[in-house]
Amino acid sequence: MGSNSVWEIEEEVANSSSSHNNNNGGIGSYMNGGSLSSSNGEDVYVAVGKKKSSMDALSWALKHLVKPSSFVYLVHVFPEVHHVPTPLGLVPKSHVSAQQVETYMGQQRIKRREMLQKLMDLCHSSQVQVDTLLIESDSIAKAVLDLIPVLNIKRLIVGASKSNLRKLKGSSKAEQIQKSAPQYCEVTIICDGKQVNDIDHKEKSSSNSKNVSEKHEKDGRKQVIKSSCYCFSKKFL
């Protein structure tokens, strides 16, 4: 049975006068009074949230990457509380009582716990050791990127939905993380249970085959006999 411990990490505003080891680009102290060791190379980190893409990413990681000696860390970034819902709408937390703020934060903690428990149960059913890391931050991509050098993360899995990937190429949080991660950290994006690179390759291959077929048909209609050379950039090969 896997571990059930939860690590909470405070995000601190980076101070240029502070040492790299103290804040490491914005990630601050570990809240539970302990310390986390660096990744041993077989550990797998999965960025998770409330969407189905998180379950897909974790399922893929458990199927393709996790070994008996591996440890899975679920990394969840949740926003800071700036406003509290009231019958009159959202109100700045400074305008309500401390009790109201604490009640709302307690409700959010319960929702996070329920969401994470489903993911942890999936790990337990696969007989994999699992821990969760909670980061309070308004910038998901930055918080995850800041965590990589702190824990020397070498393998990170991020889920993404097709709608987010198609909005503007390279603008999704998953793609931002993949693009900005240090070289020693391999970031894999999972969409609908498949690696994004695999999906892109199949779509491009299908498109290329269609174009080649149309070209042959066009040449046939014109009854032109000549040798043809189709040149593809390396990203299609």
Q: Where are the domains of the chain?
A: 6-192, 199-236
In this structure, the number of other CB atoms found within 10 A of the CB of residue 42 comes to 14
Over residues 43-83, the pLDDT tens digits come to 999 999 999 999 999 999 999 998 888 899 999 999 999 99
The answer to whether 186 touches 174, Cβ cutoff 8 Å, is no
Give the strand order in the sheet containing 27-30: 27-30, 6-11, 129-136, 71-78, 44-48, 155-159, 186-191, 194-195
pLDDT at 40: 60
pLDDT at residue 126 is higher than 60: yes
pLDDT average, residue stretch 2-31: 41
From residue 97, alpha-carbon distances to 34, 104, 110, 111 in Å are: 32, 11, 20, 22
The answer to whether 13 touches 140, Cβ cutoff 8 Å, is no
pLDDT at 222: 42
**Model confidence band, residue 171 (pLDDT cutoffs 50, 70, 90):** low
pLDDT at residue 200 is higher than 70: no
pLDDT at 199: 46
pLDDT at residue 152 is higher than 80: yes
Domain 6-192 classified CATH 3.40.50.620? yes
The answer to whether 190 touches 60, Cβ cutoff 8 Å, is yes
Question: Token pair for residue 82?
Answer: 């700036």
